[in-house]
Homo-oligomer: A and B are copies of this chain.
Amino acid sequence: MTVPAPRPTLEAVAAHAGVSRATVSRVVNGAAGVRAEVTERVLASVAALGYVPNRAARSLVTRRTGAVAVVIAEPETRVFSDPFFARQLRGISRELARHDTQLLLLLSESRADQGRVGRYLSGGHVDGALMFSLHGEDPLPSMAAASGLPTVFGGRPGWEGAEEDPQLCYVDTDNRGGARLAVEHLRERGRRRVAVITGPLDMTGAQDRLAGYRDALGVTEADPALVACGDYTAEGGERAMAELLARSPGLDAVFACSDLMAFGALRTLRAAGRRVPQDVAVVGYDDLPPGAWPEPALTTVRQDVEEMGSLMARMLLRRLGVAEAEDGSGAPPASVITEARLIVRATT
């Protein structure tokens, strides 16, 4: 067992920096009116001595931990390979850092993970939570609700009763409208056999994009020969495209519900000798940053993922009383649906 070293005191920091206790207190509590060089000296002493302000004592008064959990219901392999998550987290962490709030990232994949994450969230270790990439019957939202933890969701919640819950707060993009734009664009390009590669259909975003595909085609049921399910990964897109070519060799366009799946589909089309866009036009969804991605440049639907992350964080900080409404109204935050926009490039 490690034996805890004695904790350095405020006095020790003051002596080390050669300033008063009041000055140290002002610096560590972020108060204004301390000269930059003095602040620098105090912070150097704080670091040298390993001083930690007594946040625990403060949080007994404020009942705040100063931390927010970000829960992503995906395995590490996906979170660390799909740039979507990095961008959303960048938006979130920028906003939390502005309000000196610590971001804790928790991944939850299996049922065992869900139980463990739920216990941590309800253990008083965080002030609130942001949850995204939820699938189907994930118990975490109800666990968070049961423990009274303020929570903001990324993506339209799909569980029963969610739409009627006046407390429920989420940020989503207009998935249905974005998908409609993509497929209408393919129709305008004269394509008649438009296939779709969906995301996991236990996620509302994937359901909504499929609904947008149906809207644009003016049907209430999609032709099963033109629908294949993917999992938002490039490998999934590759497999789904192969399935579609086998079932519907005459298809002349495909709408892939994520850019990574579109990249996979392009690989399959190339291997099958189909020219893009002459034989098969391809539209993706996300508008991933360029550079790492293969030619040809992908026509896609842009959603501002980083901004969605920031919005989620701002909403939660308002719920927690840490940030104010931008219009100063003090009104409770309401859910937001951000716009989706078609970006036409070389694959259509």
Checking B2, B43, B125 against A111 with a beta-carbon cut-off of 8 angstroms, the contacting residue is B43
Q: Does A346 sit at the interface, judged by CB under 8 A? A: no
* CB-CB nearest in chain B for A168: B2
Checking B55, B101, B146, B150 against A5 with a beta-carbon cut-off of 8 angstroms, the contacting residue is B146
Q: Would you call A103 and B97 a contact (CB within 8 A)? A: no
Q: Does A158 sit at the interface, judged by CB under 8 A? A: no
Contacts A2-B148, A125-B125, A148-B5 given; indicate if A81 touches B86 (C-beta within 8 A).
yes
Residues in chain B near residue A47, CB distance under 8 A: 114, 137, 139, 142
Interface residues on A, range: 35 or more
CA distance A80 to B69 in the complex (A): 18
Q: Would you call B103 and A106 a contact (CB within 8 A)? A: yes
| Beta-carbon contacts under 8 Å, A134-149 to B | 137, 139, 142-143, 145-148
CA distance A192 to B344 in the complex (A): 51
* CB-CB nearest in chain B for A84: B80
Q: Would you call B4 and A119 a contact (CB within 8 A)? A: no
Q: Does A18 sit at the interface, judged by CB under 8 A? A: no
A307 CB to nearest B CB, Å: 15
Q: Does A46 sit at the interface, judged by CB under 8 A? A: yes
CA distance A49 to B118 in the complex (A): 13
Give 22 pairs: A residue, B residue, CB < 8 Å, sorted on A.
A1-B319, A2-B148, A5-B148, A43-B115, A48-B142, A50-B142, A50-B145, A51-B143, A52-B119, A55-B119, A66-B120, A76-B86, A76-B90, A76-B93, A80-B80, A80-B85, A80-B89, A97-B113, A100-B112, A101-B116, A102-B106, A103-B107
**4 further contact pairs, Cβ within 8 A, besides A56-B123, A77-B86, A104-B106:** A3-B148, A59-B123, A76-B86, A102-B119
